[in-house]
Amino acid sequence: MTGEGASELLRVEDLKVYFPIKSGLVIDRHVGDVKAVDGVTFDITKGETLGLVGESGCGKTTVGRTILRLYDPTEGRIIFEGDDIARLAQREMRKLRGRMQMVFQDPYSSLNPRQNVGNLIAEPLKIHGIASGDDARRRAEELLDIVGLPKASTARYPHEFSGGQRQRIGLARALALNPDLIVADEPVSALDVSIQAQMVNLLEELQEEFDLTYLFIAHDLAVVRHISDRIAVMYLGRIVEVASADELYASPRHPYTIALLSAVPIPDPEIESSRERILLKGDLPSPANPPPGCRFHTRCPFRQPERCDTEVPELRLLSDGHLAACHYAEEIKAGKITMHDSGEVPAHSA
């Protein structure tokens, strides 16, 4: 779904990130792996916002951090502006850091409490030899202005600011090196509702102004739909569906996406009391021990006796342009398969 002449900024191919589980008395032995990311493929076009959604344990944060090589991939390729950086030495990686940056979720732990804001923002400039001393400070002030904070903030310390303000400081730091790609890992989840909207607007303005590309990782579907061009849905380490933001909501193709959308509460009492909700049973399986075949089959309201528990579904292109990883996506859409009894719960009047 790339436009005419638009180039691909980032492509991730079959990315796997396994974290070893070690156990032992004196010496640790490798007894298993947490398969946080287990074969993820997607691409992002320059100037686009790709939303990455999923619930806890789905691996979306790991994907974001691995793209930036903060974690090392176990397998797979990460092609950034044409070069595979998956196995690049950290020393080489440092030179690329300027082109991809990250905004973190928790405004209370993502800023060094012992650095003042000016140093915090100017640090990337100093390290990469772009500016130093007064020049660096001036640039820091410029960046603060861009994110809507007073210039005098440079002398202050992170704990003197509110959560929303701290997120902006983090954003200013991310912009310092003029990156092409910004991975925003839950940038608004920890903020109050009224501040979230400010932050989202700010992100969109900055994207316009600086021609940024975003990988927007979040679990709040409504926010992701608002800001993203396309959305990828993850479950237990794999992508289960990719579609444009409007399409994903209007006609979700993967059972997990359907269930996820049905679970999101809508601020409208009339709709809430009349809608039919799909309640998934049970809990998320452990990423250390994922179910065989389709990872979602243990909770899927559309599960079929064949293929679902034995064959891993490929992420494939469907007729309406969605990518979905479900053996029976066409049958579900055509109405040939319906939900089991256990899947659905009738509406309640509030």
Partner 1 sequence: MALLSVKDLSVKFVTRKATVRAVNGISFDLEAGGTLGIVGESGCGKSVSSLAMLGILPKPAGRVMRGEVNFDGVDLLKIPDSQLRQVRGKDIAMIFQDPMTSLNPVLTIGRQITESLRKHLDMSKDDAKKESISLLGRVGIPAAEDRIKDFPHQFSGGMRQRVMIAMAISCRPKILIADEPTTALDVTIQAQILDLLKHLVAEENMALILITHDLGVVAGTCERTNVMYAGRFVESATTSSLFARPRHPYTLGLLKSVPRLDAARKEKLEPIGGTPLSMTQDIEGCAFAPRCIYATDKSREETPELARIDSDDHLVACWNPVPDEDLPHVEVVATQAEGRTAR
Partner 2 sequence: MSIAEAEAKELRLERPSSLGRDALERFRHNKSALVGVAVILLLILVAIFAPLIAPYGPREQVGGLDSSDPAGPSSEHLMGLDEQGRDEFSRVVYGARLSLLVGLVSVTFGLTFGLILGALAGYFGGWVDTTIMRIMDIMLSIPGLLLAIGLVTLLGRGLIQIMCAVGITTVPIFARLLRGAILAQRESDYVLAARSVGVPGGRLLMIHILPNALAPVIVQATLAMATAIIDVAGLSFLGLGPADPSFPEWGKMLADNASRLERAAHLVIFPGAAVVISVLGLNLIGDGLRESIDPKLRS
Interface contacts to partner 2, rule CB under 8 A? 27, 65, 68, 70, 94, 97-98, 101-102, 104-106, 109-116, 123-124, 127-128, 145, 148-150, 152-153, 155-157, 159-161, 165, 170, 173, 176-177, 198
**Nearest one of 36, 23, 22 to 288, comparing CA atoms:** 36
Q: Kindly state the tokens that stand for 71.
A: 């974690």
Q: Which does 52 bind (CB under 5 to 8 A by kind): partner 1, partner 2, none?
A: none
Contacts of 346 (CB under 8 A, 6+ apart): 276
Q: Which helix (H) or strand (E) holds 66?
A: helix 60-67
User: 2 or 251: whose CB is closer to partner 1?
Assistant: 251
Q: From residue 296 to residue 335, what is the string marking binding to partner 1 with x (rule CB under 8 A)?
A: ------------------------------------xx-x
Q: Which helix (H) or strand (E) holds 203?
A: helix 193-210
Q: Tell me which DSSP letter residue 3 carries.
A: -
159 near partner 1, judged by CB under 8 A: no
- Shortest spacing between CB 199 and partner 1, in angstroms: 9
Q: Which helix (H) or strand (E) holds 142?
A: helix 133-146
Q: Kindly state the tokens that stand for 196.
A: 């979230």
- Shortest spacing between CB 104 and partner 2, in angstroms: 5
Q: Are 238 and 287 in contact (CB under 8 A)?
A: no
Determine the angle formed by the axes of helices 133-146 and 163-175, rounding to 10 degrees.
Answer: 120
- Shortest spacing between CB 177 and partner 1, in angstroms: 27
Q: Which does 283 bind (CB under 5 to 8 A by kind): partner 2, partner 1, none?
A: partner 1
| Cα end-to-end distance, the chain, whole Å | 42
Q: Which does 215 bind (CB under 5 to 8 A by kind): partner 2, partner 1, none?
A: none
- Shortest spacing between CB 235 and partner 2, in angstroms: 25
From 96-104, 132-140, 175-183, 272-280, span contacting partner 1 (CB under 8 A): 272-280
